Amino acid sequence: MAGGPLLLGGVKIAHDQHLFGHSDADALLHAITDALLGAAGLGDIGEWFPDTADENRGRDSTEMLALAHAQLRTRNFEIANLDCVIFAQQPKLSKYKPAMTQRIAEILEIQPDQVGIKAKTGEHVGPIGRGEAISTQCVALIFKSPVFKPPSNL
């Protein structure tokens, strides 16, 4: 949608467009939330934060990610790493990746080297290539910890 800034990975990015969604529409944090919930067998972001619920209208995606992370922690899951991809023709994201990596690591109480972010264009093909859409993916590797560690950020 017209008007910026663009919000990705918990970082405001100078751009003339922004994403539209029921929450704050941070597509990267949504993909990470989904990956973590799915890896732990806990469903998906729509089950935990339905777009039919008024309390989720305009909701901060960092809050949703932190709550999902808390659910993992209560079940003794720890994050080994995240492998994320952002598909966007514009804006160019290389200079924003370190800030996104740092912000995601802060939210999840992990080290920045546990967060991988790649940015890909659509090579001017399809909705992504025409700048009509941005898509994100994340694969999360988690493991069961023998020691309970409650999240400190809630």
Q: How buried is residue 150: exposed, middle or buried, by Cβ count under 10 Å (0-12/13-18/19+)?
A: exposed
Position 150 in a domain: no
Alpha carbon distances (Å) from 57 to 24, 84, 89: 8, 25, 27
Q: What is the pLDDT of residues 90-136, one digit of tens each?
A: 889 999 999 999 999 999 999 999 999 999 998 888 998 988 888 99
| Three-state DSSP class for residue 115 | strand
Position 154 in a domain: no
Position 153 in a domain: no
Range list of H helices, the chain: 27-39, 45-48, 61-74, 97-108, 126-129
- Could you give the number of structural domains in the chain? 1
Position 39 in a domain: yes
Burial 110-147 (b: 16+ CB within 10 A, else e): beeeebebebebbeeeeebeeeeebebbbebebeeeee
Position 19 in a domain: yes
The closest alpha carbon to 35, from 109, 121, 142, 113, belongs to 142
Rounded CA separation 127/146 (Å):
45
Parallel, antiparallel, or unpaired for β 135-144 and 77-87?
Answer: antiparallel
CATH code of the domain covering residue 101: 3.30.1330.50
> Could you list the residue range(s) of the whole structural domain that residue 134 is in?
6-144
Q: What is the pLDDT of residues 34-90, one digit of tens each?
A: 999 999 999 999 999 888 888 867 668 899 999 999 999 999 999 999 999 999 998
Position 26 in a domain: yes
Position 149 in a domain: no
Q: What is the pLDDT of residues 11-43, one digit of tens each?
A: 988 766 656 565 667 899 999 999 999 999 999
Position 78 in a domain: yes
